Chains A and B, each alone.
Chain A
Amino acid sequence: MSLTILINGEIHAGIPVGISVGGLLSHLKLPSTKIAVERNQAIVSKSAYETTNIEHGDIFEIIHFIGGG
């Protein structure tokens, strides 16, 4: 059993059941201090990374700062 979720518009299958947002970020090798996460259109605060579990069909946006005017 595994979960399928959408991250930044792309389908990601094979996500282990019971994984938290923090776990997902480590799985993706993303530096959690430099990014922000939105799950189903709601912000996941950094303090809630470990306590927020991922569910099948979740839609994630993961953003960072880039150059802009």
Chain B
Amino acid sequence: MPKNVLKIAGQEFSSRLIIGTGKYKDYAQNAAALAASGAEIVTVAVRRVNISSPNEPMLVDFIDPKKTTYLPNTAGCFTGEDAVRTLRLAREAGGWDLVKLEVLSDPKHLYPDMEETMRAAKMLIDDGFKVMVYTSDDPVFARKLEDMGCVAIMPLGAPIGSGLGIQNKVNICLIVEQSSVPVIVDAGVGTASEATVAMELGVDAVIINTAIAEAKDPVRMAKAMKHAIIAGREAYLAGRMPRKRYADPSSPLAGLI
């Protein structure tokens, strides 16, 4: 049986759930959800400091980057140059080089611009970053990104923030089968069962933001997601029974009175 740890670019994690830090009511609720989820990695954004109110609460005051791995993203970047500039600043602020690259396109569906994603990934890798890359669920691009040196391939399950669940299981399975770096479903999960479905397909981890942050009780949903990820992973490792077209009694037919 494979060792049950998630290994990204040499770093080991015991939780296979990565949570976002956007859309929460406040950072305190975000921190409580993180604790309930058991996640060890959080995605974060890089933005300008509000110069006029330097005492505003900061994310690092609620979620300690020494205890939780920060994964800075490039949300809002539309070119390779923007992504590199943003992540260089993130590297300076945090001092780490594991990053999440996402170069988006049309705000309506937020699909990744794959041409620009490929260009940005190359620029970042050349600059010494370890790139976890948000990608369409296209096995051809996934292969190209892995060959280029990305440390994790992160196909979308459904559009960002849509909560529609895994739309193309066949493609996710193809990506899992061909990849030797971790495959992480990034975006699309809406509730616990969908996180389980993703893990049952054999992906290494799932990133969840909106499904937790926009639940009626985010802390409780974070806990549900924790169990869903574990259940899905265990079921994948256990190997499901074959599907059959007809019934097969569980009690023996021999020895009936």
Contact = CB atoms under 8 A, between A and B. Distances in A.
Interface of A: 7-10, 12, 28-31, 34-38, 41, 43, 45-46, 61-69
Interface of B: 20-24, 27, 30, 43-49, 51, 54-55, 58-60, 65, 70, 72-73, 75, 85, 88-90, 92-94, 160-161, 187, 207, 209-210
B44 A67 contact: yes
A29 B73 contact: no
Given A67-B59, A69-B73, A43 B88 contact: yes
B60 A65 contact: yes
Given A30-B54, A45-B92, 19 more contacts: A8-B49, A8-B51, A28-B51, A29-B54, A29-B55, A35-B93, A36-B90, A43-B89, A63-B47, A64-B60, A64-B93, A65-B45, A65-B59, A66-B45, A67-B22, A68-B20, A68-B46, A68-B75, A69-B21
Nearest to A46: B92
A28 B51 CA distance: 7
A67 B60 CA distance: 10
> 8 tightest CB-CB pairs across the interface, nearest first?
A68-B45, A36-B93, A69-B20, A69-B209, A67-B21, A36-B92, A8-B48, A29-B54
